[in-house]
C-alpha cells in the first residue's frame, strides 16, 4: 500500500525534483504550493507524513507546523522541515514546534527518502503491551519490569515512563518541553529543569549495565535515546 506524503513547497522546480524519487520509492505524493493548498489537501486526506518548507508565501512553515501539532486531528502526523536555514537556533525552533526531523538544503532526494523512512519507523505506533528491547536493555510494559542483559534494573515510576517514551521514539531529539508534555502530561505544571533531574536519575539507574550512554544530551536542543554516538 502506498503511503501518502504531503509535499508543501512553493518552488515548482523543487517539487518536481522531489516528487519523482519519492514516487519511485513507493510513496504517493500530494503537492501543495502554499499553506492554503495544503489545508485543502488535508480536508481530503490525512497523509502519513508532511514535508514542509520553512519559507512559504502565505504562512511560514514553522508557524503552520506549530498549528498542526496543536490540533487534535493532525498532531500525530510526522513533519520533516525542508529549509536552507542551518543555524542551531533555527533547528531548535523547528524541534520546539514539534517537527520530527529537519533537512537542510541542499540535500539529495536519496537522503530525503532515507530520512522519511527513518521518521516513519520511529513514529509508527506500536502496541503499548509489546516489550521493547535495545542492545540488551528490555522494557516490558505488562510487568513494568526493566532488565539489562537479563538482570533487573530498579528505577522510579517517572524514570520508567521516561525510559518507555524514549525507547518507543528512538533517535528523535526531544526538547525539555516536549518531554514534559509527553511524559508528565500537559495538565501538570513542572519546571523544565525537572527533566534534567530525572534524566540524571535514569542514567544512574542504567549506568550499572552501561546503557546510560543511550540517553544522550544534544547540546542546544534537548535529549534523545539512540544507539548511535
> Same domain for 178 and 110?
no
For residue 19, the model assigns a pLDDT of 93
Pick from 87, 113, 116: nearest CA to 100: 116
pLDDT < 50 stretches in the chain: 127
Domain extent at residue 93 = 3-123
For residue 21, the model assigns a pLDDT of 93
> Same domain for 7 and 117?
yes
Pick from 69, 96, 75, 93: nearest CA to 83: 93
Pick from 42, 226, 20: nearest CA to 113: 20
Distance CA 174, CA 81 (A): 15
For residue 86, the model assigns a pLDDT of 60
Q: How far apart are the first and last CA of the chain?
A: 34
For residue 227, the model assigns a pLDDT of 87
> Same domain for 51 and 9?
yes
> Same domain for 119 and 171?
no
> Same domain for 180 and 113?
no
For residue 144, the model assigns a pLDDT of 86
Q: Please name every residue paired with 134 in a beta bridge, in sequence order, or none if there are none.
A: 137
CATH of the domain at 35: 3.40.50.2300
CATH of the domain at 181: 1.10.10.10
Domain count, the chain: 2
Amino acid at each position: 500500500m502506498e503511503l501518502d506524503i504531503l509535499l508543501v513547497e512553493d518552488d515548482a522546480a523543487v517539487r518536481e525534483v522531489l516528487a519523482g524519487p519519492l514516487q519511485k520509492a513507493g510513496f504517493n505524493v500530494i503537492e501543495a504550493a502554499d499553506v492554503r493548498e495544503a489545508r485543502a489537501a488535508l480536508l481530503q486526506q490525512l497523509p502519513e507524513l508532511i514535508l514542509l518548507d520553512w519559507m512559504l508565501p502565505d504562512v511560514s512553515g514553522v508557524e503552520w507546523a506549530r498549528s498542526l501539532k496543536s490540533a487534535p486531528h493532525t498532531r500525530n502526523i510526522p513533519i520533516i522541515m525542508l529549509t536552507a536555514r542551518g543555524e542551531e537556533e533555527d533547528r531548535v525552533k523547528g524541534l520546539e514546534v514539534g517537527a520530527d526531523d529537519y533537512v537542510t538544503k541542499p540535500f539529495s532526494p536519496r537522503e530525503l527518502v532515507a530520512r522519511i523512512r527513518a521518521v516513519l519507523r520511529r513514529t509508527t505506533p506500536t502496541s503499548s503491551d509489546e516489550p521493547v528491547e535495545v542492545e540488551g536493555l528490555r522494557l516490558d510494559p505488562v510487568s513494568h519490569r526493566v532488565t539489562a542483559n537479563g538482570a533487573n534494573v530498579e528505577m522510579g515510576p517517572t524514570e520508567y515512563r521516561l525510559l518507555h517514551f524514549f525507547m518507543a521514539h528512538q533517535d528523535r531529539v526531544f526538547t525539555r518541553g516536549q518531554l514534559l508534555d509527553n511524559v508528565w502530561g500537559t495538565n501538570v505544571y513542572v519546571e523544565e529543569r525537572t527533566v534534567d533531574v530525572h534524566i540524571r536519575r535514569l542514567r544512574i539507574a542504567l549506568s550499572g549495565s552501561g546503557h546510560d550512554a543511550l540517553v544522550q544530551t544534544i547540546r542546544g536542543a534537548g535529549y534523545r535515546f539512540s544507539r548511535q554516538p
